[in-house]
A and B are shown apart, each in its own frame.
Chain A
Amino acid sequence: MEFPIAGVTVDPIALMVIGFIVGVLGGFFGVGGGFLAAPFMFWIGVPMNFVVGTDLAHMTGKSIVAFKRHRALGHVDMKLGALMILGTMVGVEIGAQVIEHLEARQSVDMVIGIIYIVILALVTMFTAYEAVRSLRMMQSDQIDVKDVIGFQGIAKRISSIRIPPMISFPASGIKEISVWMVVGVGLFTGVLSGMLGVGGGFVRMPMLVYVLGIPTHVAVGTDLFEIIFSAGYGTLTHAIKGNVDIIMALAMHTGAAIGAQIGAVSTQYFTGPRIRLFFSFLPLIGILMVVLRLTGVIAV
Protein backbone atom coordinates (compact mmCIF):
# COMPACT_ATOMS: atom_id res chain seq x y z
CA MET A 1 0.00 0.00 0.00
CA GLU A 2 1.22 3.48 -0.82
CA PHE A 3 1.70 5.92 2.04
CA PRO A 4 1.60 9.38 0.41
CA ILE A 5 2.97 11.32 3.39
CA ALA A 6 6.24 9.39 3.55
CA GLY A 7 6.05 8.79 -0.19
CA VAL A 8 6.78 5.07 0.01
CA THR A 9 5.02 1.76 -0.53
CA VAL A 10 5.04 -0.41 2.57
CA ASP A 11 3.16 -3.60 3.41
CA PRO A 12 0.48 -2.57 5.96
CA ILE A 13 0.27 -6.13 7.29
CA ALA A 14 3.96 -5.96 8.20
CA LEU A 15 3.31 -2.69 10.05
CA MET A 16 0.42 -4.30 11.93
CA VAL A 17 2.56 -7.31 12.88
CA ILE A 18 5.36 -5.06 14.21
CA GLY A 19 2.72 -3.08 16.11
CA PHE A 20 1.28 -6.30 17.54
CA ILE A 21 4.66 -7.56 18.79
CA VAL A 22 5.69 -4.31 20.46
CA GLY A 23 2.11 -3.96 21.73
CA VAL A 24 2.34 -7.24 23.64
CA LEU A 25 5.74 -6.23 25.05
CA GLY A 26 4.46 -2.77 25.99
CA GLY A 27 1.33 -4.06 27.69
CA PHE A 28 3.25 -6.69 29.62
CA PHE A 29 6.42 -4.82 30.59
CA GLY A 30 5.33 -1.18 30.46
CA VAL A 31 7.93 -0.20 27.86
CA GLY A 32 7.50 1.76 24.66
CA GLY A 33 9.28 -0.81 22.51
CA GLY A 34 11.02 1.73 20.25
CA PHE A 35 14.28 -0.24 20.49
CA LEU A 36 12.60 -3.11 18.64
CA ALA A 37 10.07 -1.36 16.40
CA ALA A 38 12.49 1.16 14.87
CA PRO A 39 14.92 -1.33 13.22
CA PHE A 40 12.05 -3.44 11.91
CA MET A 41 10.25 -0.39 10.50
CA PHE A 42 13.42 0.63 8.69
CA TRP A 43 13.89 -2.93 7.47
CA ILE A 44 10.42 -3.08 5.83
CA GLY A 45 11.06 0.19 4.00
CA VAL A 46 9.98 3.09 6.23
CA PRO A 47 12.32 6.02 5.47
CA MET A 48 14.85 6.72 8.22
CA ASN A 49 13.56 10.25 8.93
CA PHE A 50 10.02 8.90 9.49
CA VAL A 51 10.97 5.93 11.69
CA VAL A 52 11.33 7.59 15.12
CA GLY A 53 8.42 10.07 14.84
CA THR A 54 6.00 7.50 13.42
CA ASP A 55 7.00 4.99 16.07
CA LEU A 56 6.38 7.59 18.80
CA ALA A 57 2.92 8.32 17.38
CA HIS A 58 1.93 4.65 17.41
CA MET A 59 3.49 4.32 20.89
CA THR A 60 1.18 7.06 22.20
CA GLY A 61 -1.89 5.16 21.03
CA LYS A 62 -0.62 1.79 22.22
CA SER A 63 0.16 3.16 25.67
CA ILE A 64 -3.37 4.58 25.98
CA VAL A 65 -4.87 1.13 25.27
CA ALA A 66 -2.53 -0.69 27.68
CA PHE A 67 -2.90 2.04 30.31
CA LYS A 68 -6.71 1.80 30.26
CA ARG A 69 -6.57 -1.97 30.72
CA HIS A 70 -4.02 -1.69 33.54
CA ARG A 71 -6.13 1.00 35.17
CA ALA A 72 -9.16 -1.29 35.09
CA LEU A 73 -7.00 -3.91 36.83
CA GLY A 74 -5.94 -1.40 39.50
CA HIS A 75 -2.34 -1.25 38.27
CA VAL A 76 -1.92 2.51 37.84
CA ASP A 77 -0.91 5.11 40.42
CA MET A 78 -2.04 8.33 38.72
CA LYS A 79 -0.66 10.58 41.46
CA LEU A 80 2.80 9.01 41.23
CA GLY A 81 2.73 9.08 37.44
CA ALA A 82 1.74 12.75 37.30
CA LEU A 83 4.54 13.73 39.69
CA MET A 84 7.12 11.73 37.79
CA ILE A 85 6.13 13.33 34.49
CA LEU A 86 7.35 16.69 35.83
CA GLY A 87 10.81 15.28 36.53
CA THR A 88 10.90 13.33 33.27
CA MET A 89 10.08 16.34 31.09
CA VAL A 90 12.82 18.45 32.70
CA GLY A 91 15.21 15.50 32.48
CA VAL A 92 14.54 14.93 28.77
CA GLU A 93 15.42 18.56 28.04
CA ILE A 94 18.62 18.33 30.13
CA GLY A 95 19.56 15.11 28.32
CA ALA A 96 18.98 16.74 24.93
CA GLN A 97 21.19 19.68 25.96
CA VAL A 98 23.95 17.29 27.06
CA ILE A 99 23.78 15.59 23.67
CA GLU A 100 24.02 18.91 21.87
CA HIS A 101 27.09 19.75 23.96
CA LEU A 102 28.66 16.35 23.25
CA GLU A 103 27.94 16.57 19.53
CA ALA A 104 30.57 19.27 19.29
CA ARG A 105 33.08 16.48 19.93
CA GLN A 106 33.76 13.53 17.70
CA SER A 107 32.62 9.92 18.23
CA VAL A 108 29.63 10.96 20.34
CA ASP A 109 27.65 7.99 18.97
CA MET A 110 30.26 5.57 20.22
CA VAL A 111 30.36 7.17 23.70
CA ILE A 112 26.57 7.19 24.03
CA GLY A 113 26.33 3.66 22.66
CA ILE A 114 28.77 2.39 25.26
CA ILE A 115 26.94 4.22 28.09
CA TYR A 116 23.70 2.70 26.83
CA ILE A 117 25.18 -0.83 26.73
CA VAL A 118 26.64 -0.51 30.24
CA ILE A 119 23.35 0.76 31.72
CA LEU A 120 21.27 -1.92 30.03
CA ALA A 121 23.74 -4.64 31.05
CA LEU A 122 23.53 -3.48 34.67
CA VAL A 123 19.72 -3.43 34.51
CA THR A 124 19.69 -6.97 33.07
CA MET A 125 22.10 -8.42 35.63
CA PHE A 126 20.57 -6.75 38.66
CA THR A 127 16.95 -7.44 37.70
CA ALA A 128 17.67 -11.10 36.87
CA TYR A 129 19.61 -11.59 40.12
CA GLU A 130 16.92 -9.96 42.24
CA ALA A 131 14.02 -11.71 40.48
CA VAL A 132 15.59 -15.16 40.93
CA ARG A 133 16.27 -14.33 44.60
CA SER A 134 12.63 -13.26 45.07
CA LEU A 135 11.30 -16.39 43.38
CA ARG A 136 13.47 -18.55 45.66
CA MET A 137 12.17 -16.62 48.69
CA MET A 138 8.61 -17.25 47.57
CA GLN A 139 9.26 -20.96 47.07
CA SER A 140 11.24 -21.57 50.25
CA ASP A 141 8.93 -19.54 52.47
CA GLN A 142 5.76 -20.78 50.75
CA ILE A 143 4.55 -17.20 50.35
CA ASP A 144 1.24 -16.86 48.50
CA VAL A 145 1.54 -13.26 47.42
CA LYS A 146 1.46 -11.37 44.16
CA ASP A 147 4.74 -9.53 44.66
CA VAL A 148 7.90 -9.90 46.69
CA ILE A 149 10.99 -7.77 46.25
CA GLY A 150 14.20 -9.57 47.16
CA PHE A 151 16.28 -6.43 47.37
CA GLN A 152 14.68 -3.63 49.36
CA GLY A 153 17.81 -1.89 50.66
CA ILE A 154 17.67 1.08 48.24
CA ALA A 155 13.92 1.61 48.63
CA LYS A 156 14.24 1.58 52.45
CA ARG A 157 17.05 4.13 52.37
CA ILE A 158 15.13 6.35 49.95
CA SER A 159 12.00 6.24 52.12
CA SER A 160 14.09 7.19 55.18
CA ILE A 161 15.21 10.44 53.53
CA ARG A 162 12.81 13.01 54.91
CA ILE A 163 13.25 16.15 52.85
CA PRO A 164 9.90 18.00 52.88
CA PRO A 165 7.38 18.04 51.39
CA MET A 166 6.49 14.42 52.10
CA ILE A 167 3.79 12.64 50.10
CA SER A 168 1.91 9.34 50.31
CA PHE A 169 0.92 6.99 47.47
CA PRO A 170 -1.83 4.73 48.82
CA ALA A 171 -2.34 3.09 45.41
CA SER A 172 1.29 1.90 45.54
CA GLY A 173 1.27 1.07 49.25
CA ILE A 174 3.73 3.88 50.09
CA LYS A 175 2.87 5.65 53.33
CA GLU A 176 5.34 8.50 53.07
CA ILE A 177 8.16 9.52 50.76
CA SER A 178 9.87 12.77 49.88
CA VAL A 179 8.46 14.42 46.75
CA TRP A 180 12.04 15.11 45.69
CA MET A 181 12.90 11.41 45.52
CA VAL A 182 10.00 10.78 43.13
CA VAL A 183 10.82 13.81 40.98
CA GLY A 184 14.49 12.76 41.12
CA VAL A 185 13.74 9.31 39.69
CA GLY A 186 11.71 10.97 36.91
CA LEU A 187 14.53 13.43 36.28
CA PHE A 188 17.19 10.70 36.12
CA THR A 189 15.23 8.52 33.69
CA GLY A 190 14.33 11.63 31.69
CA VAL A 191 18.01 12.60 31.32
CA LEU A 192 18.81 9.07 30.10
CA SER A 193 15.91 9.17 27.64
CA GLY A 194 16.94 12.59 26.38
CA MET A 195 20.53 11.46 25.95
CA LEU A 196 19.93 8.02 24.54
CA GLY A 197 16.83 8.77 22.46
CA VAL A 198 15.03 5.61 23.53
CA GLY A 199 15.10 3.38 26.57
CA GLY A 200 13.11 5.28 29.20
CA GLY A 201 10.96 2.30 30.08
CA PHE A 202 14.01 0.02 30.41
CA VAL A 203 15.29 2.08 33.30
CA ARG A 204 12.09 3.58 34.72
CA MET A 205 10.26 0.33 35.45
CA PRO A 206 13.12 -1.20 37.52
CA MET A 207 13.75 2.14 39.24
CA LEU A 208 10.11 2.39 40.28
CA VAL A 209 10.38 -1.08 41.82
CA TYR A 210 13.84 -0.96 43.40
CA VAL A 211 14.28 2.72 44.24
CA LEU A 212 10.74 3.78 45.17
CA GLY A 213 9.48 0.34 46.27
CA ILE A 214 6.46 0.27 43.94
CA PRO A 215 4.84 -3.17 43.33
CA THR A 216 5.79 -4.51 39.87
CA HIS A 217 2.26 -4.53 38.42
CA VAL A 218 1.73 -0.90 39.47
CA ALA A 219 5.16 0.05 38.11
CA VAL A 220 4.21 -1.37 34.70
CA GLY A 221 0.85 0.46 34.59
CA THR A 222 2.26 3.74 35.91
CA ASP A 223 5.12 3.61 33.43
CA LEU A 224 2.60 3.31 30.60
CA PHE A 225 0.74 6.34 31.96
CA GLU A 226 3.96 8.30 31.71
CA ILE A 227 4.77 7.03 28.21
CA ILE A 228 1.43 8.45 26.96
CA PHE A 229 2.69 11.96 27.74
CA SER A 230 6.34 11.55 26.78
CA ALA A 231 5.50 9.81 23.49
CA GLY A 232 2.65 12.28 22.83
CA TYR A 233 5.02 15.19 23.30
CA GLY A 234 7.56 13.46 21.04
CA THR A 235 4.88 12.92 18.40
CA LEU A 236 4.04 16.63 18.34
CA THR A 237 7.63 17.80 18.06
CA HIS A 238 8.53 15.24 15.39
CA ALA A 239 5.31 15.94 13.42
CA ILE A 240 6.07 19.67 13.37
CA LYS A 241 9.46 18.78 11.87
CA GLY A 242 7.69 16.66 9.22
CA ASN A 243 8.91 13.31 10.58
CA VAL A 244 5.59 11.56 11.25
CA ASP A 245 3.51 9.55 8.78
CA ILE A 246 0.30 9.35 10.76
CA ILE A 247 -1.39 6.90 8.37
CA MET A 248 1.50 4.51 8.94
CA ALA A 249 1.24 5.07 12.71
CA LEU A 250 -2.51 4.40 12.64
CA ALA A 251 -1.90 1.18 10.69
CA MET A 252 0.74 0.04 13.18
CA HIS A 253 -1.53 0.92 16.02
CA THR A 254 -4.33 -1.38 14.82
CA GLY A 255 -1.97 -4.30 15.58
CA ALA A 256 -0.56 -2.70 18.70
CA ALA A 257 -4.01 -2.13 20.26
CA ILE A 258 -4.87 -5.82 20.41
CA GLY A 259 -1.28 -6.70 21.38
CA ALA A 260 -1.33 -4.19 24.24
CA GLN A 261 -4.60 -5.64 25.55
CA ILE A 262 -3.17 -9.15 25.50
CA GLY A 263 0.08 -8.02 27.16
CA ALA A 264 -1.76 -6.08 29.88
CA VAL A 265 -4.22 -8.88 30.67
CA SER A 266 -1.37 -11.43 30.72
CA THR A 267 0.30 -9.67 33.66
CA GLN A 268 -2.53 -11.11 35.79
CA TYR A 269 -1.09 -14.57 35.29
CA PHE A 270 2.34 -13.76 36.65
CA THR A 271 3.76 -12.68 39.97
CA GLY A 272 5.96 -9.58 40.24
CA PRO A 273 9.28 -11.50 40.39
CA ARG A 274 8.32 -13.56 37.32
CA ILE A 275 7.52 -10.38 35.35
CA ARG A 276 10.85 -8.89 36.43
CA LEU A 277 12.69 -12.07 35.43
CA PHE A 278 11.18 -11.93 31.93
CA PHE A 279 11.87 -8.20 31.84
CA SER A 280 15.55 -8.79 32.57
CA PHE A 281 16.00 -10.34 29.10
CA LEU A 282 14.50 -7.32 27.36
CA PRO A 283 17.50 -4.97 27.70
CA LEU A 284 19.63 -7.65 26.01
CA ILE A 285 17.66 -7.03 22.81
CA GLY A 286 18.37 -3.32 23.24
CA ILE A 287 22.10 -4.09 23.67
CA LEU A 288 22.09 -6.24 20.53
CA MET A 289 20.42 -3.44 18.54
CA VAL A 290 22.99 -0.86 19.71
CA VAL A 291 25.90 -3.20 18.90
CA LEU A 292 24.45 -3.83 15.42
CA ARG A 293 24.06 -0.08 14.92
CA LEU A 294 27.55 0.78 16.13
CA THR A 295 29.07 -1.89 13.90
CA GLY A 296 27.11 -0.59 10.93
CA VAL A 297 25.02 -3.74 10.40
CA ILE A 298 21.78 -1.77 10.77
CA ALA A 299 21.19 1.94 10.27
CA VAL A 300 18.57 2.64 12.98
Chain B
Amino acid sequence: MPDKTEKDQTQVPFGELLRNFVIELIVYGILIAIYFYVALRFLANPLAALFGNNLAAYAVISLGLIVVQAVFLEFVTSLLFDYLGLHRLSSRPGKH
Protein backbone atom coordinates (compact mmCIF):
# COMPACT_ATOMS: atom_id res chain seq x y z
CA MET B 1 0.00 0.00 0.00
CA PRO B 2 2.58 2.65 0.95
CA ASP B 3 4.40 4.14 -1.99
CA LYS B 4 8.02 5.02 -1.47
CA THR B 5 9.09 8.62 -1.81
CA GLU B 6 11.94 9.61 -4.04
CA LYS B 7 14.98 11.12 -2.42
CA ASP B 8 14.88 14.89 -2.21
CA GLN B 9 17.29 16.00 -4.90
CA THR B 10 16.47 19.69 -5.15
CA GLN B 11 16.89 22.04 -2.24
CA VAL B 12 15.40 25.41 -3.12
CA PRO B 13 16.03 28.24 -0.64
CA PHE B 14 12.77 29.29 0.96
CA GLY B 15 13.53 33.00 0.46
CA GLU B 16 14.00 32.48 -3.26
CA LEU B 17 10.76 30.53 -3.51
CA LEU B 18 8.86 33.20 -1.61
CA ARG B 19 10.30 35.97 -3.79
CA ASN B 20 9.42 34.08 -6.97
CA PHE B 21 5.96 33.38 -5.64
CA VAL B 22 5.34 37.08 -4.98
CA ILE B 23 6.64 37.89 -8.48
CA GLU B 24 4.29 35.28 -9.92
CA LEU B 25 1.33 36.82 -8.10
CA ILE B 26 2.22 40.33 -9.31
CA VAL B 27 2.79 39.27 -12.94
CA TYR B 28 -0.37 37.14 -12.90
CA GLY B 29 -2.34 39.98 -11.33
CA ILE B 30 -1.26 42.41 -14.06
CA LEU B 31 -2.10 39.90 -16.82
CA ILE B 32 -5.49 39.19 -15.27
CA ALA B 33 -6.29 42.89 -14.84
CA ILE B 34 -5.60 43.45 -18.56
CA TYR B 35 -7.61 40.37 -19.52
CA PHE B 36 -10.42 41.37 -17.23
CA TYR B 37 -10.86 44.90 -18.46
CA VAL B 38 -10.34 44.08 -22.15
CA ALA B 39 -11.86 40.63 -22.76
CA LEU B 40 -14.54 40.29 -20.09
CA ARG B 41 -15.95 43.81 -20.53
CA PHE B 42 -16.06 43.21 -24.28
CA LEU B 43 -17.89 39.89 -23.78
CA ALA B 44 -20.41 41.10 -21.19
CA ASN B 45 -22.99 42.76 -23.46
CA PRO B 46 -23.11 40.11 -26.25
CA LEU B 47 -23.46 37.39 -23.61
CA ALA B 48 -26.19 39.31 -21.81
CA ALA B 49 -28.06 39.59 -25.11
CA LEU B 50 -27.68 35.87 -25.73
CA PHE B 51 -28.86 35.18 -22.16
CA GLY B 52 -32.04 37.07 -22.94
CA ASN B 53 -32.66 35.46 -26.34
CA ASN B 54 -31.49 31.86 -26.31
CA LEU B 55 -30.72 30.16 -22.99
CA ALA B 56 -29.71 26.83 -24.55
CA ALA B 57 -27.05 28.47 -26.73
CA TYR B 58 -26.00 30.60 -23.74
CA ALA B 59 -25.57 27.45 -21.62
CA VAL B 60 -23.35 25.72 -24.19
CA ILE B 61 -21.25 28.85 -24.80
CA SER B 62 -20.90 29.42 -21.05
CA LEU B 63 -19.54 25.94 -20.53
CA GLY B 64 -17.24 26.37 -23.52
CA LEU B 65 -15.94 29.70 -22.23
CA ILE B 66 -15.12 28.42 -18.75
CA VAL B 67 -13.34 25.37 -20.21
CA VAL B 68 -11.33 27.51 -22.66
CA GLN B 69 -10.40 29.98 -19.92
CA ALA B 70 -9.39 27.10 -17.63
CA VAL B 71 -7.09 25.59 -20.25
CA PHE B 72 -5.65 29.04 -21.06
CA LEU B 73 -5.06 30.05 -17.44
CA GLU B 74 -3.59 26.65 -16.62
CA PHE B 75 -1.13 27.25 -19.45
CA VAL B 76 -0.31 30.78 -18.22
CA THR B 77 0.09 29.79 -14.56
CA SER B 78 2.17 26.72 -15.45
CA LEU B 79 4.39 28.88 -17.66
CA LEU B 80 4.87 31.36 -14.83
CA PHE B 81 5.57 28.55 -12.35
CA ASP B 82 8.21 27.10 -14.65
CA TYR B 83 9.73 30.42 -15.65
CA LEU B 84 10.09 31.61 -12.06
CA GLY B 85 11.43 28.29 -10.82
CA LEU B 86 8.35 27.44 -8.80
CA HIS B 87 8.09 24.17 -10.74
CA ARG B 88 10.91 22.91 -8.55
CA LEU B 89 8.32 22.67 -5.81
CA SER B 90 6.90 19.80 -7.79
CA SER B 91 10.07 17.76 -7.55
CA ARG B 92 10.07 17.99 -3.75
CA PRO B 93 8.27 15.05 -2.23
CA GLY B 94 6.02 15.34 0.82
CA LYS B 95 8.02 15.27 4.03
CA HIS B 96 5.64 16.61 6.63
Contact = CB atoms under 8 A, between A and B. Distances in A.
A149 B1 CA distance: 8
A60 B89 contact: no
Contacts of B69: 61, 250, 253-254, 257
B51 interface: yes
B73 A253 contact: yes
Interface-central residue, B45, B61, B66, by most chain A CB under 10 Å:
B66
Main secondary structure of the interface of A (DSSP, over half): helix
Interface residues of A, number: 55
Given A268-B90, A271-B95, A60 B3 contact: no
B73 to A, nearest CB: 4
Interface residues of B, number: 46
Given A5-B48, A261-B81, A270-B96, A239 B74 contact: no
Contacts of B76: 257
Contacts of A270: 94, 96
Contacts of B3: 145-147, 173, 215
B78 to A, nearest CB: 7
A65 B5 CA distance: 25
Contacts of A204: none
A68 B96 contact: no
A213 B1 contact: yes
Interface in B69-92: 69-71, 73-74, 76-78, 81, 86, 89-90, 92
A267 B78 CA distance: 16
B62 A57 contact: yes
A236 B55 CA distance: 10
B63 A235 contact: yes
Contact of A68 (B45, B56, B74): B74
A152 B1 CA distance: 10
Contact of A247 (B47, B70, B73): B47
Interface of B: 1-5, 24-25, 28, 32, 35-36, 40, 43-45, 47-48, 51, 55-56, 58-63, 65-67, 69-71, 73-74, 76-78, 81, 86, 89-90, 92-96
Across the A-B interface, the 8 shortest Cβ-Cβ residue pairs: A239-B59, A61-B70, A64-B70, A257-B73, A145-B2, A4-B48, A246-B62, A61-B66
5 contacts: A240-B59, A250-B40, A250-B66, A254-B36, A268-B90
